[in-house]
Amino acid sequence: MFKDIEHLIRLALVIAIAVVAFIVLRVAVVPTSFGQYGHYRGAAVGEAAARPIAFAGHQVCEGCHTDVAEKKKQGKHVVVSCEACHGALARHADDPTSVTPVKLDTATLCGRCHEANSAKPKLFPQVVTADHSGGIACDTCHQPHKPRIEDEKPAAEGKK
């Protein structure tokens, strides 16, 4: 019927091989989860979720350190999470002997929040530390877990 049909068969064969090679390569190269949720590797979502954490979260801290949690409840720092001052301690939460939290330098730590700055909200307790304490550590007078000094009048808190 066709003249020189062998040419066509040979061409079809080449195309067929190219198509098969493309499909095989594509299957081999594109990850299985690509397109699971959209135009991206679906497994990447699980990988992002599987990373280890550094901050344990205050609920975990309070599970063991109930005395500190109780003390904090009596003061304004109840809203401040443990790791805001003590740093990331998920490893300590996993195994308390692995990392021992260091004693904090209150002279610099407290100032990060309470050093006076005109951009801070007016109602937030602020001091100029140089005038307020002359550089001595804040925990000489204030206990960080319950910062109000007992015999101080409530209205005077945080103000010089």
Partner 1 sequence: MDITRRHLLALLPAAAVAWKYILAGTPEASPNYKLSEHWWGMLIDIPKCIGCGSCVRACAEENDVPDGYFRTWIERYHVADWRIERPEVESPNGGKQGFPPNEISGGKNFFVPKLCNHCTDSPCTQVCPVGATFVTPDGVVLVDKSYCLGCRYCVQACPYGCRFVNPKTNTAEKCSLCYHRITKGLTTACCEVCPTGARQLADLKNPKDPIHEFLKTHTVQVLKPHMATGAKVFYNGMDGSVR
Identity of the amino acid at 83:
E
Number of H helices, E strands in the chain: 8, 0
CA gap 20, 28 in Å, rounded:
12
Question: With respect to partner 1, which residue has the nearer C-beta, 31 or 96?
Answer: 31
The pattern of x and - marking residues 81 through 100 that bind partner 1 according to CB under 8 A reads x-xx--xx------------
| Beta bridge partner(s), residue 34 | 41
Cα radius of gyration rounded to whole Å, the chain: 32
Q: Does 131 bind partner 1 (CB under 8 A)?
A: no
Rule CB under 8 A: choose which of 33, 75, 148, 158 binds partner 1.
Answer: 33
User: Binding of partner 1 at residue 54 (CB under 8 A)?
Assistant: yes
- Which C-beta is closer to partner 1: that of 1 or that of 79? 79
Query: Is residue 80 part of the contact set for partner 1 (CB under 8 A)?
Result: yes
What is the C-alpha to C-alpha distance for residues 75 and 71, in angstroms, rounded to an integer?
7
Q: Are 101 and 89 in contact (CB under 8 A)?
A: yes
Q: Which residues contact 20 (CB under 8 A, 6 or more apart)?
A: none
Tell me the DSSP string of 26-49. Answer: HHHHS-TTBTSSSSSBTHHHHHHH
The only residue of 19, 32, 96, 156 in contact with partner 1, by rule CB under 8 A: 32
Nearest-approach distance from CB 158 to partner 1, in angstroms: 12
How many residues form the binding site for partner 1 (CB under 8 A)? 46
Q: Which is nearer to partner 1, 1 or 117 (CB)?
A: 117
One of 3, 121, 140, 154 touching partner 1 (CB under 8 A): 121
Mapped onto helix, strand or coil, the DSSP state of residue 122 is: coil
Q: Which residues bind partner 1 (CB under 8 A)?
A: 24-25, 27-28, 31-34, 37-41, 43-55, 57-58, 79-81, 83-84, 87-88, 111-113, 115-121, 124
